[in-house]
Structure 1
């Protein structure tokens, strides 16, 4: 992942664990642990949510993705697979 913070750019490894929950009409990813490089972000209050928000914001610019994601009836992680069930 290319990270740009206050004009400083760097490539870092981003690793998360968590699951999907429905909030309102949309499924959202709720991480239980987030690592940027070797730094456990969940130990730093508020930063994990902001980071996931920035990633989602960057991905959500395409209207097709928004429409498809909003049409999902269920989202689960099964082993190493992401299972998306549309209405």
Structure 2
């Protein structure tokens, strides 16, 4: 992405391209865009067709931790069986 921005003519695009080459800046931008997209999806402004592998606004680490959580019955919650 940084390369495309760098070859686009203009001083501002050159600055943006150079900033995108810096990993912390790139990670911060990705984090903000994922959060924004997640909020837009939750608000209904963006409609996703198909099945998502994981939510855009949650880090994969939280999902991995949640998958290790004990079942609802062992956490003290009541499950209704029909």
Larger radius of gyration: 2
TM-score, normalisation: structure 2: 0.32
Q: Which has the higher relative contact order, 1 or 2, with Cα contacts under 8 A spaced 6 or more apart?
A: 1
| More helix as a share of residues | 2
Q: Which has the higher strand share?
A: 1
